Structure formats: structure tokens, C-alpha cells
Amino acid sequence: MEPMLVSSSSPMRDGLADKALELAERSAGFRRSLPDGIVDALSELVRAMNCYYSNLIEGHDTHPVDIERALNEEFSNDPEQRDLQLEAKAHIEVQAWIDEGGLEGAAARSDAIVEIHRRFCEKLPDDLLWVENPDSGERVRVVPGELRDRDVRVGQHVAISPGAVPRFLVRFEEAYRNLGRVDRVLAAAAGHHRLLWIHPFVDGNGRVVRLMSYAMLREALDTGGIWSVARGLARREAEYKRHLQACDGPRRGDRDGRGTLSEAALATFIEFFLDVCLDQISFMEELVEPDRLRDRMLIWAEEEIRGDRLPLKSGLVLEAILYRGTLPRKDVADLLSVGDRQARRITSALINSGVVTSPTSRADLKLAFPAAVAARWLPGLFPER
């Protein structure tokens, strides 16, 4: 599966390095532009978005509203829909584990890759742990965290023999550790294809690879989890899959690197991957630009007030939290020029609506982005119901 990265002799190397540095600067700048409280709230919504688009690539369409219900233990009565909700819940729990430092900078290690698969699959319902061999019709059960013990073919790609998988994972780990700043970014893209090429598991490889790349980008770029490459890949799915297929191809002559596989195809995929990342940062930057976001939030709050679903002046609390990041409860009364009782009433209404959160009855207020209001506050993040 060599080359694992684009060599210094590649004509695309300098351009990719420049793009990796641009991505690092843009990602860090976006994160720094937002208060910590907003970063925390946005990262929770992006988990649901990441889950939605990653599963959509696999043909599983579970809307973020249904994902949010699953996180609240509210499941559909339809068995098939319930299974998809459980799948989404499993995906989000694994990403939350990554966000909380579960991989500790070891996303490309073979044991970490196995752990991602184990954590994801062990939470799946039994019906989603069976796959069918398209050639023989044989049904095979997926064992969480277990490397495959049979040959597989994915489209035109015949994956390496099961006995070779451990050896190739060792090489994968060696290639993507102890890298410099630029190569750490490029490895998130290069490793994305190379792990799919190995195809270490009977099923679940796509989700595992996208979670691994998410973890590698989060570490290399300090993303804060507030943008998602999965959304961009899903929106350009046909192009994404064409690039992956091209990377399966052999070297194209003496000027195409020194490995068995095409270095030019790998470089082109890395460029595509980085462009998707940059596009998603631009999309999120525009979406959460404070003044525009404030306007959408206040329009929504005014409609809720007119519908008698929120008390008067609720929008002022949302606006204050948006710009400050957090708001001490004791400041609400002064902010609104109301008494303590009315301040408590407004605070409770906002918490009950799901748009404000607070871990305890005395803790500061923080903004939340529930899926039910995301279409109004953050249009385009995912399709409306």
C-alpha cells in the first residue's frame, strides 16, 4: 500500500503543504473567534451532524431530530427506525469519547482503530451486526473489535488477505506516528484511504475510518469539534468515492512515485480532502457569524413569544449568552430589568425549551443548539424534516 504519504519529489507536494498550513490557520482562527461556551454547544450539535452524514454515506438516513430523541432514550416504535437510532447513538457516544480525549493522540495506532470499531459495534442492535456476502449469499456476523477472518471485495478492490491485516496495520501505525506539523494534517487524508484499502473489519470500516480521520484532524488542528469533514464528503459523495477508487490503482510509470500504488492519485485525493475541510470551515464560519446568528435567534424567540411559548425578553438572554459565552443566573434580573421571580421564570422557560442549558440550579447559563431549532438558527447544517 506504499506510498503512505506524498514524497518531497512529488510536483504536488508544495501545494499540499501550503494547503495544510492554510487549513491549520483557518481552523485555529475559527475556533478562537468563538467563546468557549459557544464552542462547547456547537461541538455537541456537530456530533449529531457528523453522525448523520457519516451514516448517510453508508445509506442509513437518520435525521438529527431522531438522533437527538435517541440520546434522550426516546425511540421509535418502528423496529427498523429504532435500530438506526441506536446506530446513531453508538456513533455519537464514540465521537464523544474521542472529544473527551479517549485516544490521547493515538488515532492511527492499530489498537486504537480496533477500539473505535469495538466501541461502535458493541452498542449496535443485533440486526445491524449481520452482513451478507454478495457472491455467496452467506450471512456473516460482525464481532465488535475483531479483525476480519475472510476475504472481501469492495467494488473493484479486492482487499488483502485476512492473514495479512495485522502486518499491514503495523505498517499503517509506523507510517503515521511521529510526524511533523504538515504531515500530521496530510496523514488524516492519506490514512483515510489506506485504512479503507486494508479493510480490517468485516463491516463498519467506513464509519471507523471517518471517526479516525476526525480524531486525527482534531488533534493536528485543534478543531474544537466545531466543523465536520463528513458533511462535505457526503455532499460530494460520488466524487469522494471516485477518488477513493482511483487511489486503489497501481503506480502509473516512473514519474508516479516509488510505491506500488499511485502517488499521484493519493496526492489528488489529499487535495480533494483538504479542499472539503476548507469548504466546511467557510460554511460554519458564515453560519455562526455572531450578528447573523443573533438575528436568526431573535426572530425565532420573537415567534416563540408571540405563540406564548416563551416569556417576554427571552431573546435578550439568548443574545447575552451568544456574545459572552456564558451568563451567571444572578445577572439575568439586572440584564432584563425585572425582579428575581420573573428572571427565574424566563430562565426556566429557556431551559425547558432546550435552547439554554445549565448543569445545576446554580450554575451559569450556556447556549444549546437542539436539532429541533437547528434549521432556524443554523440553516443548511442538515436537511429539514
Three-state SS string over 262-304 comes to: CHHHHHHHHHHHHHHHHHHHHHHHHHCCHHHHHHHHHHHHHHH
What's the DSSP call for residue 8? Answer: T
Overall average pLDDT of the 256-274 stretch? 96
Confidence of residue 222 (pLDDT cuts 50, 70, 90): confident
The pLDDT value given to residue 100: 92
How is the chain split among helix, strand and coil, in percent rounded to 5? Answer: 60, 5, 35
C-alpha angle 104-92-192 in degrees, rounded to nearest 5: 60
Global pTM reads 0.94
Residue 135, pLDDT > 90, answer no
Asked whether 16 and 269 are in contact (CB, 8 A), the reply is: no
What domains can be seen in the chain, in order of their start residue? 13-287 (1.10.3290.10), 290-377 (1.10.10.10)
C-alpha angle 173-281-245 in degrees, rounded to nearest 5: 50
Grid-cell match 504536488, residue found: 12
Q: Which helix (H) or strand (E) holds 372?
A: helix 371-377
Beta bridge partner(s), residue 139 = 132
The pLDDT value given to residue 385: 66
C-alpha angle 329-335-337 in degrees, rounded to nearest 5: 115
Task: Assign 326 to helix, strand or coil.
Answer: strand
96-119: pLDDT as tens digits: 999 999 988 899 999 999 999 999
Averaged pLDDT score across all residues of the chain? 94
